[in-house]
C-alpha cells in the first residue's frame, strides 16, 4: 500500500472513533462581524488603514490623471526606471513617462529572459483587482499581462486602484464567488511595504519585497 493509503486509512479509523465537533460556523461568523465597529466609507477606511503602516497615496478623479500622479512620485522618490506589464490600459502612462525621460520598460517576455532587467529596475507599476477596506489590503491578481514580480522585485511598487473595486471586508470579496469559480494562479493581499521585526522585534521596512508602496486611488 502507498503512503497515501496508509495515512488515509489511519485517519479514517480515527475519524470514526474520535469525537466530531460539527458546527455551523458561517452563520456565527456573520453574527460576529455584525458586532464589530462599522467600517463606514470603504475608501476612507482603506486610506486610514494603509496610512497606519506608512503607505502613501494620491487620489485622482479618473485614469487620465494617473500619469501626472505617477510622474510626481517618480520625481519625489528619485525613480529613474519603471517597469509595467503589457496591460493596454497603461499605454498612455508609459507614453507619458517616456516623454518625461523616464526609462520605461515592459515585462513582455518571461522572467527568465528578462531577469537582470527585472531585478535592476527601480519601480514596478501594476493595477490592483481591488482592495479590502477594513485591513487596508490591496487585492492583487497577477496575470500574463501583469506578472507577479512587478509587485515584488522592485524597491518601489505603485498600485493603481479603482475606487469602485473596494470591498469592505475579505469576506465580502469572497462572497462574490469570483475566486471560488476560477481560482487564479496567484492572488496576494498586500498590506504595506515588505517588513520584518526579526531583530529585537524592531519594525524595519524593505526586506525582500518593496521598500515603498504607493497607491493611486482612482475615482
Of residues 23-82, those binding other proteins (CB under 8 A) = 23, 25-26, 28-29, 32, 35-37, 49, 53
How many residues touch other proteins under the rule CB under 8 A: the total is 80
Among candidate residues 136, 128, 146, the one with its CA nearest the CA of residue 219: 128
CB-wise, 29 or 95, nearer to other proteins? 29
Q: Is 176 in the site for other proteins (CB under 8 A)?
A: no
Tell how strand 195-196 and strand 204-205 pair up. Answer: antiparallel
Using the contact rule CB under 8 A, the part of the chain among 57-65, 88-96, 158-166, 169-177 near other proteins is 169-177
Q: Is 87 in the site for other proteins (CB under 8 A)?
A: no
Give yes or no for a contact between 79 and 123, defined as CB atoms under 8 angstroms apart. Answer: yes
Shortest distance in whole angstroms from residue 217 CB to other proteins: 19
Among 67, 130, 147, 168, binds other proteins (CB under 8 A): 147
Q: Is 164 in the site for other proteins (CB under 8 A)?
A: no
Measured from the Cβ of residue 68, the count of other Cβ atoms closer than 10 Å reads 12
Give yes or no for a contact between 82 and 120, defined as CB atoms under 8 angstroms apart. Answer: no
Shortest distance in whole angstroms from residue 24 CB to other proteins: 8
- Please report, for residues 57, 62, 102, the alpha-carbon distance to residue 99 in angstroms, rounded to integers and kept in the order given: 24, 21, 7
Task: Report the DSSP beta bridge partners of residue 216.
Answer: 58, 160
Shortest distance in whole angstroms from residue 141 CB to other proteins: 10
As given in the structure block, the three cell numbers for residue 91 are 499605454
Q: Is 88 in the site for other proteins (CB under 8 A)?
A: no
Q: In which residue are the cell numbers 462599522 written?
A: 38
Could you say which residues in the range 179-208 bind other proteins, by CB under 8 A? Answer: 179-180, 183-202, 204, 206-208
Amino acid at each position: 500500500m502507498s503512503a497515501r493509503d496508509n495515512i488515509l486509512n489511519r485517519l479514517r479509523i480515527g475519524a470514526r472513533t474520535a469525537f466530531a465537533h460539527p458546527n455551523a460556523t458561517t452563520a456565527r461568523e456573520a453574527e460576529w462581524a455584525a458586532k464589530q465597529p462599522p467600517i463606514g466609507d470603504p475608501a476612507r477606511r482603506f486610506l486610514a488603514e494603509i496610512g497606519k503602516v506608512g503607505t502613501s497615496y494620491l487620489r485622482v478623479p479618473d485614469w487620465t490623471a494617473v500619469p501626472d500622479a505617477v510622474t510626481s512620485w517618480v520625481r519625489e522618490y528619485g525613480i529613474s526606471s519603471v517597469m509595467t506589464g503589457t496591460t493596454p490600459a497603461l499605454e498612455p502612462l508609459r507614453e507619458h513617462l517616456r516623454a518625461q525621460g523616464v526609462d520605461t520598460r515592459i515585462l513582455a517576455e518571461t522572467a527568465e529572459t528578462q531577469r537582470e532587467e527585472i531585478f535592476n529596475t527601480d519601480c514596478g507599476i501594476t493595477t490592483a483587482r481591488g482592495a479590502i477596506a477594513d485591513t487596508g489590503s490591496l487585492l492583487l491578481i497577477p496575470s500574463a499581462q501583469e506578472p507577479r514580480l512587478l509587485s515584488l522585485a522592485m524597491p518601489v511598487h505603485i498600485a493603481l486602484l479603482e475606487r469602485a473595486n473596494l470591498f469592505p471586508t475579505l469576506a465580502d470579496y469572497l462572497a462574490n464567488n469570483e475566486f471560488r469559480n476560477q481560482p487564479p494562479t496567484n492572488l496576494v493581499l498586500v498590506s504595506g511595504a515588505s517588513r520584518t521585526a526579526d531583530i529585537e522585534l524592531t519594525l524595519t521596512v524593505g526586506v525582500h519585497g518593496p521598500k515603498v508602496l504607493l497607491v493611486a486611488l482612482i475615482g
